[in-house]
Chain A
Amino acid sequence: MSHETWQEQLRRGGLDLAILLTLSAGPRYGLAIIQHLEAFTDLVVTEGTIYPILGRLTRDGLLEAEWVEGEAPHARKYYRLTRLGAKRLADMKGEWRAFAEKIDRLMVASERAARASL
């Protein structure tokens, strides 16, 4: 696997979690979600590809979507976490932290071993 493929897989894997985290504070519309992600991460490479992911998360029952008129000159589609989405987010956060901790531990151990062999 090339380095680019690995990076892309890592990015894709993190994107669902990042979107659920963004919506955990409250409902947001598509562009507001993208801007929040862009402010904190570099996960958004092409803005237009976020919308199909929002659609998929909605179909999976993790998000609810609703068109809101009158807030701006155009309608905005707001997304909010469902109860299932909140539960999935809690699971994903736990799994992510455990995973990151294990990789961190492994990196520290391998660095220590490398130093000791010098």
Chain B
Amino acid sequence: MHLSETGESRINGYLFVLERSLRSFLPPEVVRDAVREIESHLRERVLSADGAPTEREALEKILAELGPPLRVAQAYSAERTVDEAVATGRVVPMLRAVWTLALRTFIGSAVATGLFTAYAAGTAFLVIAALKPIFPNNVGLIGFETGRWSLGAQFPLPPGATVHGGYWIIPLSIVCGVGVLVFAHTATHHYLAAWRKRQRPEL
């Protein structure tokens, strides 16, 4: 079957939605290959669809059998994101995989909350270390009039509050920040590897 301009637009529209969905969680070269393969599938189906009554009916049947682009993208997401995260150990793919699992299961969302909190805490320590030399009178171990203590930054410093200690907070924050981030990253890696192992015990 030779496609009209309308038929071509329908296929291009499908591929556009698929590409946009895949781009949100896959590297560009993987997206290009996946879209090329799905397009090859569609072209092959169209070539052999000579018996169909109308082009529109033939195309709708082909696309229905292939599945909605979001469903196809979802299948790629499930198969790919965790694999990439475990294989590379890179932060962005790992966070992406944790996010994907968080959207799928209750346990996944609970684990994601814990891990994201740990990443945020580690980053906060490093931010304190970075801000201390710039705002020495606002960042550090802060004692309040009420007797409460906090580690962080206050702009402006509340009346009666004092910043204790000195620049020793910088190495301490760096050690704590790096420690918490390494812990969060290792825990994330173990969690994803365990999830993958449960899905595919042969690995």
Q: Which residue of B lies closest to A31 (CB)?
A: B44
Which residues of the other chain, A, contact B38 by a CB distance below 8 angstroms? 48, 51
Complex contact B47–A30 (CB within 8 A):
no
Which residues of the other chain, B, contact A47 by a CB distance below 8 angstroms? 41, 65-67
**Cα of A29 to Cα of B41 in the assembled complex, Å:** 9
Which residues of the other chain, A, contact B71 by a CB distance below 8 angstroms? 46, 48-49
**Cα of A47 to Cα of B38 in the assembled complex, Å:** 10
Q: Which of B34, B47, B78 contacts A51 (CB 8 A)?
A: B34
Q: Which residue of B lies closest to A57 (CB)?
A: B79
- Does more than half of chain B's interface fall in helix, strand or loop, or is it mixed? helix
Please encode chain B, from 116 to 160, with 1 for each CB lying within 8 Å of some chain A CB and 0 for all others: 000000000000000000000000000000000000000000000
**Cα of A46 to Cα of B23 in the assembled complex, Å:** 21
A93 within 8 A of B: no
Given contacts A46-B71, A76-B44, A88-B202, contact A52 B78 (CB under 8 A): yes
Q: Which residue of A lies closest to B76 (CB)?
A: A52
Q: Which of B75, B80, B202, B203 contacts A48 (CB 8 A)?
A: B75
**Cα of A56 to Cα of B202 in the assembled complex, Å:** 13
Please encode chain A, from 57 to 90, with 1 for each CB lying within 8 Å of some chain B CB and 0 for all others: 0011000000100001111110000000000100
Complex contact B40–A77 (CB within 8 A):
yes
Which residues of the other chain, B, contact A94 by a CB distance below 8 angstroms? none
Q: Which residue of B lies closest to A49 (CB)?
A: B75
Q: How many residues of A are counted as interface, with CB atoms below 8 angstroms from the partner's CB atoms?
A: 22
A14 within 8 A of B: no
Which residues of the other chain, B, contact A29 by a CB distance below 8 angstroms? 40, 44
Complex contact B34–A55 (CB within 8 A):
yes
A100 within 8 A of B: no
**Cα of A59 to Cα of B72 in the assembled complex, Å:** 18
Could you say which interface size class chain B belongs to?
20 to 34
**Cα of A75 to Cα of B36 in the assembled complex, Å:** 9
Complex contact A56–B72 (CB within 8 A):
no
B83 within 8 A of A: yes
Complex contact A60–B203 (CB within 8 A):
yes
Q: How far is the CB of B84 from chain A (nearest CB, A)?
A: 9
Q: How far is the CB of B140 from chain A (nearest CB, A)?
A: 48
Given contacts A52-B79, A55-B34, contact A46 B40 (CB under 8 A): no
Q: Which residue of A lies closest to B40 (CB)?
A: A74
Q: Which residue of A lies closest to B71 (CB)?
A: A46
**Cα of A49 to Cα of B65 in the assembled complex, Å:** 10
Complex contact A74–B44 (CB within 8 A):
yes
A53 within 8 A of B: yes
Which residues of the other chain, B, contact A73 by a CB distance below 8 angstroms? 43, 47
New A-B pairs, 4, CB < 8 Å, besides A47-B67, A72-B44, A74-B40: A30-B37, A30-B40, A30-B41, A59-B83
CB pairs A–B below 8 angstroms (17 shown): A31-B41, A31-B44, A46-B71, A46-B75, A47-B66, A48-B71, A48-B72, A49-B75, A51-B38, A52-B79, A53-B79, A67-B36, A73-B43, A74-B43, A75-B40, A76-B40, A77-B36
